[in-house]
């Protein structure tokens, strides 16, 4: 009886280990599928950037405000709020749906695997999103300093500071948190971060602006969120030394 009980216990332990491994692999597969971007949507963004080169959206003749507006519009597109009509008919002809519909469905799939609940507070939502981004997205410089749409950064699993800022702004906005993309200067270095309109993220700390209406944002306190850091690592001296240059709401 003792031998049978021992064998049973061993099998039970092995079974539990296999169930745990199965759950882990299932979760990894769900995340992998959610982070995948289709070739058609990727081509849409490639054509958009190519055509906008030299225009008020992106090229050398554009102002910093034009550029941050374009960055914010990429986030809005991921939310289904904005589209570029000259490319929409071609996309619809191939996909039988609009590009912004595809982008929003894919972004919603990512939010599903992040696991945000409707009962979560704004702080909990920010915490979950930043944790997800810092787990799966790595910093990588651009060859030609182009802005990536949210699903591109997720599909590549990498991006530079403006790509992080665009992605975080889209995800925050998608869960009901007013957000903006901000371009900053720290000495001679440019940097992009996300802004959210909240009073605070207590019990965590972060730097904030009490008013950014002069930059075209809604009245209220805007918190600086460095999307390359988790929520408990927001209040750094480097971020404090960053001075906002331009911003655009999502």
What's the confidence (pLDDT) of residue 23?
Answer: 46
Q: Name the token pair of 64.
A: 């910093």
pLDDT, residue 44, reads 93
pLDDT for res 36: 77
**pLDDT value of position 18:** 65
The tokens 């695997």 sit on which residue?
A: 113
**The model's pTM:** 0.87
pLDDT score at 32 = 61
Centroid of chain to Cα 47:
21
Give 10-residue mean pLDDT values along the chain (250 residues): 73 67 54 75 90 54 89 96 90 95 94 93 98 96 88 95 97 98 94 98 97 98 98 96 97
The domains of the chain, with CATH numbers, are 35-249 (3.10.620)
pLDDT in the model for residue 55: 44
């Amino acid at each position: 009886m003792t031998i049978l009980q021992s064998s049973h216990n061993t099998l039970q332990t092995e079974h539990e280990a296999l169930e745990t491994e199965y759950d882990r692999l299932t979760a990894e597969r769900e995340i992998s599928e959610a982070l995948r971007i289709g070739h058609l949507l990727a081509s849409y963004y490639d054509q958009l950037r190519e055509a906008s080169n030299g225009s008020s959206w992106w090229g050398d003749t554009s102002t910093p405000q034009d550029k941050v507006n374009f960055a914010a519009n990429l986030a809005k597109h991921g939310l289904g709020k904005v589209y570029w009509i000259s490319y929409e008919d071609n996309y619809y002809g191939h996909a039988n749906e609009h590009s912004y519909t595809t982008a929003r469905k894919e972004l919603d799939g990512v939010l599903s695997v992040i696991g945000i609940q409707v009962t979560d507070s704004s702080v909990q939502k920010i915490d979950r999103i930043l944790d997800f981004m810092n787990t799966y997205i790595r910093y990588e410089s651009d060859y030609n300093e182009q802005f990536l749409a949210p699903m591109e950064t997720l599909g590549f699993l990498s991006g530079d500071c403006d790509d992080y800022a665009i992605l975080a702004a889209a995800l925050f906005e998608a869960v009901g948190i007013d957000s903006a993309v901000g371009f900053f200067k720290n000495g001679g270095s440019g940097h992009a971060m996300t802004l959210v309109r909240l009073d605070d993220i207590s019990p965590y700390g972060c730097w904030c602006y009490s008013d950014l209406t002069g930059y075209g944002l809604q009245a209220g306190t805007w918190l600086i969120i460095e999307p390359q850091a988790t929520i408990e690592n927001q209040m750094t001296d480097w971020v404090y030394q960053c001075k906002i240059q331009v911003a655009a709401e999502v």
